Chains A and B, each alone.
Chain A
Amino acid sequence: MEKKMVLVPAGKYLPFFITKSNKPIAVDSFLMDETAVTNAEFLEFVIANKNWSRSNVNRLFADTNYLKYWASDYNIGIKNFQLINSPVVYVSWFAADAYCKWKRKRLPTVAEWELAGSALPKNIKIQSLTEYILSWYNKPNLPVLPNIKSTYCNEYGLFDMHGLVWEWTFNFNSYISSGDSRDTANDEKNLFCAAGSINVNDRKDYAAFLRFSYRGSLKGNYCIANLGFRCAKNFK
């Protein structure tokens, strides 16, 4: 069964770091998986692409944590039965990229992901999306990662854009940070100015700041507990 994709209409993405050269980016309409890729779905990929099994994978493309919670190469494991429909995590960017290509799709860009993720929930009541996001960041991980569609559905029909896992993006590290969030003199100066002048009720920037810090710390071969992905596709 093919995964349902939903249309994200064209829009403008305002980059988090606003500088003179960093203007709003026009994003064409595109299709996006309605949920993150699940363990069950990723298992199909690994079975069809043996070079992406845990023991065959090239270490350059996935670190030693790759799929480490699975029972074996082609078996998620009985004790993980609750995870069949949970997002696959501990997957590298390269693995996510390969999966999307196998599905004749691609990873969404940061601009696409952020545009898609900015849509408000339509099936739950929240104070604000930012409150919701910060609240997720402020809670420790649950012992068992919940299933897909366990958080909320947004106005585009996308599930769990926030509150379930972090997600890989195609150009996750295109914002080059030295690792010290205060060191990017040009970007950061603007950011601090902006942060000082915004209405304190608007905390959207802080949630975005956390996401950008997160992406900035990543390398393509990292496989991490909370990090999954979903695919996107051009809309013709």
Chain B
Amino acid sequence: MKTNWLIFLLMVCMAAIQTSCNNSGDTTVKKESTGIDTVITGTVKAELTDAPLMPKPLTYTTPQRVTVELEVIEKVMQIAEGVDYTFWTFGGKVPGKFIRVRQGDLVDFTLINMPDSKLPHNIDLHAVTGPGGGAAVTNVSPGQSATFQFRALNPGLYVYHCATGPVGLHIANGMYGLIYVEPQKNPLPAVDKEYYLMQGDYYTKGKFGEKGLQEFDMDKAIREEPDYVLFNGSVNANAGPNALPAKVGETVRLFVGNGGPNMVSSFHVIGEIFDKVHVEGGDLINTNVQTTIVPAGGSAIVEMTMDYPGMFHIVDHSIFRTFNKGCLAQIKVEGEKNRSIFGEIKK
């Protein structure tokens, strides 16, 4: 136990030294220590978007000092038609705002907890190298804010979430989102459409679809028996009239995350094959994939060229979640039918 404390104290000291260095303006990292360019050439305010929209691909090609401001808002929203739920959000929606930065960027991250909040909140960004992914320095009371700085060392698609205790409760109420760190080498090629989808599981006192304001059910959460499993925070958030639009011949890239807290997603698009999957949101690219796993607290980037028109269903292929718990989004593809790919043979 003593050793643990010593290590903890050492970490605190190191964090303090790090902070004092940053405060004195020394924000460069030795190139050989990271193998990436870290010389800051300018400042940028990050574009933040609500799902299913993505921030535009970054146009700068050298490291920037990036400002990110994220507000924590506790609010009642529809989880399904006629069903309300008190969500805790990063930016007012579930999932939280999408953040897009570039490897080597120095990010000044401010977390603001709105004065109306009942509870304190913090943020753990899986893209952060440092104590708690930022959580250790951002536990913010209602009406307060905290700022920390991190270097985006590793490229990839990362989940962020609240890590205030009890962590599971904060995540179950919708406190997660995605941050994409564009790599310095070999950035993703431009595609026609980019969308942001994030899965989450929800536990309500009432059953699926039971009307009125539904409260969180801790028993069900502990038993891992969700009433709702959803893309983008509500039933039909991106289905039917809200389906994601695309045209025949276009390449669609989905930035997919899974907030959990409990379920692992068997991510699948009915009637399409992923031409490319950035497995677990990292460097590894798999091709020609039918279903890819998106772990709770994990991600994947999938790409597909839409060769044929129609409604394409995005599902968790743990399929009762789709048919009975709301886990459905859709891509609506418009354009000419290509008989050489698909067609019914009439008798």
A residues adjacent to B (C-beta < 8 A): 65, 134-135, 137-141, 177-183, 185-186, 195, 200-201, 203, 206, 209-210, 212-214, 216-219, 222-226
Is the CB–CB distance between A182 and B132 below 8 Å? Answer: yes
- Cα–Cα distance between A140 and B137 once the two chains are bound (Å): 26
Is the CB–CB distance between B119 and A216 below 8 Å? Answer: no
Is the CB–CB distance between B118 and A140 below 8 Å? Answer: yes
Q: Which one of B115, B136, B137 contacts A225 once the chains associate, using CB atoms below 8 Å? A: B115
Q: Which residues of B contact A213 (CB under 8 A)?
A: 119-120, 139, 164-166
B: number of interface residues (CB 8 Å): 40
- A-facing residues in B289-319 (Cβ within 8 Å): none
Given contacts A134-B216, A139-B86, A140-B86, contact A214 B163 (CB under 8 A): no
1/0 per position for B131-171, CB-CB distance to A under 8 A? 11001111111111000000000000000000111110100
A-B contacts, 11 listed (Cβ < 8 Å): A134-B215, A139-B213, A178-B12, A179-B135, A180-B124, A183-B8, A186-B4, A201-B219, A206-B218, A210-B165, A217-B139
B136 to chain A minimum Cβ distance, whole angstroms, is 4
Q: Which residues of A contact B118 (CB under 8 A)?
A: 137, 140-141, 226
Given contacts A140-B75, A180-B132, A186-B1, contact A218 B141 (CB under 8 A): yes
A155 to chain B minimum Cβ distance, whole angstroms, is 25
- Cα–Cα distance between A178 and B122 once the two chains are bound (Å): 11
- A-facing residues in B70-93 (Cβ within 8 Å): 74-76, 86
Q: Which residues of A contact B141 (CB under 8 A)?
A: 214, 217-219, 222, 224
Q: Which residues of B contact A137 (CB under 8 A)?
A: 118-119
Question: Of A180, A201, A212, A223, which is in contact with the most chain B CB atoms at under 10 Å from its CB?
Answer: A180
Is the CB–CB distance between B131 and A180 below 8 Å? Answer: yes
Is the CB–CB distance between A181 and B116 below 8 Å? Answer: no
Is the CB–CB distance between A209 and B116 below 8 Å? Answer: no
Is the CB–CB distance between A182 and B163 below 8 Å? Answer: yes
Question: Of B12, B219, B222, which is in contact with the most chain A CB atoms at under 10 Å from its CB?
Answer: B222
A225 to chain B minimum Cβ distance, whole angstroms, is 5
A212 to chain B minimum Cβ distance, whole angstroms, is 7
- Cα–Cα distance between A209 and B169 once the two chains are bound (Å): 10
Q: Which residues of A contact B86 (CB under 8 A)?
A: 138-140
User: Taking chain B's interface residues, is the majority helix, strand, or loop, or is none over half, making it mixed?
Assistant: mixed
Q: Which residues of A contact B131 (CB under 8 A)?
A: 178, 180, 183
- Cα–Cα distance between A67 and B8 once the two chains are bound (Å): 38
B residues adjacent to A (C-beta < 8 A): 1, 4, 8, 12, 74-76, 86, 115-116, 118-120, 122, 124, 131-132, 135-144, 163-167, 169, 213, 215-216, 218-219, 222-223
Is the CB–CB distance between B222 and A200 below 8 Å? Answer: yes
Is the CB–CB distance between A210 and B119 below 8 Å? Answer: yes
Q: What number of residue pairs across chains A and B have CB atoms under 8 A from each other?
A: 115
Q: Which residues of B contact A210 (CB under 8 A)?
A: 119, 165-166, 169
Q: Which residues of B contact A135 (CB under 8 A)?
A: 215
Given contacts A138-B86, A179-B135, contact A224 B165 (CB under 8 A): no
Quick one: closest B residue to A65, CB to CB? B143
A52 to chain B minimum Cβ distance, whole angstroms, is 20
Given contacts A180-B163, A224-B142, A226-B142, contact A206 B169 (CB under 8 A): yes
Is the CB–CB distance between B142 and A179 below 8 Å? Answer: no
Is the CB–CB distance between B1 and A180 below 8 Å? Answer: no
Is the CB–CB distance between B143 and A217 below 8 Å? Answer: no
A93 to chain B minimum Cβ distance, whole angstroms, is 12
Given contacts A137-B119, A138-B86, A217-B141, contact A179 B219 (CB under 8 A): no
A179 to chain B minimum Cβ distance, whole angstroms, is 4
Is the CB–CB distance between A217 and B115 below 8 Å? Answer: no
Q: Which residues of B contact A203 (CB under 8 A)?
A: 218-219
Quick one: closest A residue to B122, CB to CB? A179
Q: Which residues of B contact A138 (CB under 8 A)?
A: 86, 215-216
Q: Which residues of A contact B136 (CB under 8 A)?
A: 178-180, 183
- Cα–Cα distance between A210 and B12 once the two chains are bound (Å): 25
- Cα–Cα distance between A139 and B173 once the two chains are bound (Å): 12
- Cα–Cα distance between A115 and B139 once the two chains are bound (Å): 26
Is the CB–CB distance between A181 and B218 below 8 Å? Answer: no
Q: Which residues of B contact A65 (CB under 8 A)?
A: 115, 143
B90 to chain A minimum Cβ distance, whole angstroms, is 17
Quick one: closest A residue to B4, CB to CB? A185
- Cα–Cα distance between A70 and B336 once the two chains are bound (Å): 65
Known pairs A183-B136, A213-B139 / 9 extra A-B pairs, C-beta < 8 Å: A178-B132, A179-B136, A180-B132, A181-B165, A186-B4, A212-B165, A224-B141, A224-B144, A225-B115
